[in-house]
């Protein structure tokens, strides 16, 4: 088990923020967790420590948003994510996390900039719906980036924000998507030797933060309007994009 106080200085807020995100508030806010923890340990170790906690969070999130997800979207996204996870497993040890973060950050920033520019030019314009084909692409990219650094939120947000879902259906659909993805990821993470005793005991020590973060997010979700929710989601998606770009460029 990790005993360095500096690690917990970063890990505690990281896990709590991820819980808030999984509780239905903040969109892709959870993507900041691995970079934050990576200030004290390696990104790979941070991802390994987080995964069991995320699996626990997913159970609380599933209960909080039960029966509110959109099965039509999940039928597109979940199978595609499996493809991304397989790709991540096969490329483990050969891929550059820096390049992945840089690409993902660029796409996230471009998406939000285009959205804001479109709204500014014509507030009455009807946004173009994302196609099912783009859902397959988003699901695969999300599965891949989720495997690498639990950074699958932005691709899914970019797709679902264009599907005219209300805030609860949006949150519930992402909950089910990542529940399936995270439990599947346990298999390759174990096969790749990422779950040693130190990482698992550290996950256990941080696990009480899971329900605290989840129910904080649910509380915020219920008290924020749809319009405000999606505005926050776009702002956070843009901020996450900047963070991913910065981390990618710094690592390169």
191-250: per-residue pLDDT in tens? 988 899 999 999 999 999 999 989 888 888 788 775 776 677 678 778 877 887 888 888
pTM flag (> 0.85): no
Arithmetic mean of pLDDT, 161-175: 86
Cα distance between residue 111 and residue 83, in whole Å: 23
CB–CB of 33/18 below 8 Å?
Answer: yes
Answer whether residue 123 shows pLDDT above 70.
no
Q: Which domain holds residue 21?
A: 5-251
Compute the mean pLDDT over every residue in the chain, rounded to the nearest whole number. 84
CA of 43: how far to CAs of 23, 26, 30, 135, in Å? 24, 22, 15, 28
Q: How many domains does the chain have?
A: 1
pLDDT in tens, 17-36: 888 888 877 666 677 777 77
Name which residue leads in pLDDT, 151 or 147.
147
CB–CB of 159/130 below 8 Å?
Answer: yes
The pLDDT score that the predictor gives to residue 128 is 56
The pLDDT score that the predictor gives to residue 119 is 66
Alpha helices in the chain (DSSP H): 5-22, 33-37, 43-64, 71-90, 97-121, 132-149, 153-160, 167-191, 197-206, 209-222, 226-251
Cα distance between residue 136 and residue 82, in whole Å: 11
């Amino acid at each position: 088990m990790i005993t360095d106080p500096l690690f917990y200085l970063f890990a505690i807020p990281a896990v709590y923020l991820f819980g808030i995100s999984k509780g239905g508030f903040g969109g892709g806010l959870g993507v900041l967790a691995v970079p934050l923890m990576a200030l004290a340990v390696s990104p790979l170790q941070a991802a390994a420590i987080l995964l069991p906690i995320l699996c626990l969070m997913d159970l609380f999130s599933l209960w909080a948003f039960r029966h509110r997800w959109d099965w039509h979207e999940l039928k597109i996204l979940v199978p595609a994510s499996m493809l991304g996870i397989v790709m991540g497993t096969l490329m483990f040890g050969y891929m550059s996390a820096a390049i992945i973060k840089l690409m993902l950050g660029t796409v996230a920033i471009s998406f939000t900039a285009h959205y804001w520019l479109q709204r500014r030019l014509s507030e009455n314009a009807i946004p173009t719906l994302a196609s099912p084909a783009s859902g397959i692409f988003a699901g695969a990219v999300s599965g891949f980036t989720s495997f690498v650094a639990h950074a699958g939120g932005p691709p899914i947000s970019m797709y679902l924000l264009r599907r005219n879902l209300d805030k609860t259906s949006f949150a519930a659909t992402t909950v089910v998507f990542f529940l399936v993805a995270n439990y599947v990821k346990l298999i390759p993470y174990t096969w790749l030797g990422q779950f040693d005793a130190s990482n698992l005991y550290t996950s256990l020590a941080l696990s009480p933060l899971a329900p605290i973060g989840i129910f904080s997010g649910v509380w915020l979700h219920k008290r924020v309007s749809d319009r405000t929710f999606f505005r926050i989601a776009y702002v956070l998606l843009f901020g996450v994009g900047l963070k991913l770009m910065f981390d990618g460029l710094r690592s390169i």
